[in-house]
Amino acid sequence: MKELQYDGVVIGGGAAGMAAALELEAAGFSCALIEREEYLGGILLQCIHNGFGIHEFSEELTGPEFAERFVEKTLASKIAVFLNTTVTSFGTAASPGGSAAYKELFCVSPGGALQIQARAVILAMGCRERNRGNVRIPGSRPAGVFTAGLAQRLVNIEGYIPGREVVIIGSGNIGLIMARRMSWVGCTVKAVVEIMPYPAGLARNIVQCLRDFDIPLYLSTQTTRILGNDRVEGVELCPLENGVPLPEKRFRIDCDTALLSVGLVPENELSKAAGVELDGATGGPLVDSNLMTTVEGVFSCGNVLHVHDLADWAAEESRRAGHYAAEWLLGKETAVQIRTRAGANVRYVSPGRLNPRRENRVYLRSLVVKNDAVLELRCGRQVVKTVKKGHVQPSEMISLSAGPKELEGIGADSSLEFSLV
């Protein structure tokens, strides 16, 4: 088994992983980047639509163009890149002298097994799609049922069209984008079906991918069965009223393909195996203000931490993860940290702790659709900050800054609550 040593290792070669690795390498530390696929870039390589890079590069790019900006910098750096390499496990072990602990990663690669030792590890494995089993749609197992992301890969990379008459179950962003893509390749998209009373995707995708193509969107509608034995023949749908099914209004849409766009889940099997504690609300690791997990020296960022709505935000967060990992490697002490928690109408707040001595970037998601909302930051009964929001909805992440001005005087035994009113 080949043995290697680095100051830091980043697991995941998407934009988030590359952004974190570049920051760590720029701070003067040796760094390895491990990617299980053949190329760097991650899921962005199959996202040929535009809309990326507006915040990160101040221009509109396609997914591959966005990824290429990071790939070029990564390959021009001293970062050791391992492609077609999978981390099977990692844990913490004592150094030979017993004076410090390091992370020990075991990997499989085309060249054989690798044992990599590192002082710090940054998790950037991204997320995966929820599938039919996760949402328990009844019916047999006919051909023609795909996740939207798989269909996107088949069309954009493999050059295959998965079907001709399509119903998309769920209104996540990938599903909305695939409604447009399938229309472009000559398919008929008969409907997008969403169980919630509001869309799960960004407002711009509703306009550009559905309304511009006259594709019907059924809200408050449950998919009760996928029909067909050998091949999908249709889907059975049931309207909901205040969340209650109305079976007398059940109807059918004939189709030969069903694409599922029913949410994303952070890819954290490896994290759990390493002893990292996960947040029940996000599915990602619990992290402090430095984006460090409950395992000392292990950091997390991007979609493996919490699912972002924009790749730009994932890259921005990941740069900070690389910066904080570098500070930790330098031995810089962390100030007393203040806990955060979700209040009224807020699903989650990330990170779980804030540093009162510096500005902190905070992300959260709303549980409601609301116009003219006010985001309140409270410590007990005291409101320490308010932010007016013209519109909030669960599909769009909210980002804000909180620093010494708001956090001064809040003790470590207190918490900062984020609420939407």
Of the candidates 152, 169, 173, 185, the residue with the CA atom closest to the CA atom of residue 255: 169
How many Cα neighbours within 13 Å face the side chain of 176? 22
For residue 1, what pLDDT is reported? 83
Round to whole Å and give the CA distance between 67 and 39: 11
Work out the pLDDT band at 409, boundaries 50, 70, 90. Answer: confident
pLDDT over threshold 90, residue 80: yes
pLDDT over threshold 70, residue 96: no
Work out the pLDDT band at 392, boundaries 50, 70, 90. Answer: very high
Of the candidates 386, 389, 307, the residue with the CA atom closest to the CA atom of residue 348: 307
Q: Which distant-in-sequence residues (6+ apart) come within 8 Å of 54 by Cβ?
A: 60, 312
Domains of the chain (ranges; CATH) run 2-128+265-334 (3.50.50.60), 131-262 (3.50.50.60), 339-420 (2.60.40)
Adjacent-strand bridge partners of 102: 93
Buried b (16+ CB within 10 A) or exposed e, 96-111: eeeeeebbbbebeeee
The mean pLDDT of 6-21, rounded to a whole number, is: 98
The DSSP code sequence of 84-120 is S-EEEEEEEEE-TTSSSEEEEEEEEETTEEEEEEEEE
Of the candidates 55, 29, 10, 1, the residue with the CA atom closest to the CA atom of residue 313: 55
Taking a C-beta distance cutoff of 8 angstroms, is the pair 389, 413 a contact? no
DSSP state of 155: I
Round to whole Å and give the CA distance between 316 and 26: 15
Work out the pLDDT band at 100, boundaries 50, 70, 90. Answer: low
What is the tens place of the pLDDT at every residue in 138-154?
999 999 999 999 999 99
Adjacent-strand bridge partners of 254: 234
Work out the pLDDT band at 98, boundaries 50, 70, 90. Answer: low
| Average of per-residue pLDDT values in the chain | 94
3-state secondary structure of 174: helix
Round to whole Å and give the CA distance between 204 and 165: 24
Q: Is the peptide bond before 351 cis (omega within 30 degrees of 0)?
A: yes
pLDDT over threshold 70, residue 97: no
What is the tens place of the pLDDT at every residue in 305-364?
999 999 999 999 999 999 999 999 999 877 779 999 999 999 999 999 999 999 999 999
Which of left, alpha, beta for 234 (phi over 0: left; psi -120 to 50: alpha)?
Answer: left
For residue 95, what pLDDT is reported? 64
Work out the pLDDT band at 46, boundaries 50, 70, 90. Answer: very high
Question: Measured on CA atoms in the order 374, 379, 380, 382, is the torsion positive or negative?
Answer: negative
For the chain, the farthest-separated pair of C-alpha atoms sits apart, in whole angstroms, at: 73
Adjacent-strand bridge partners of 364: 349, 398
Structure tokens at 55: 């915040």
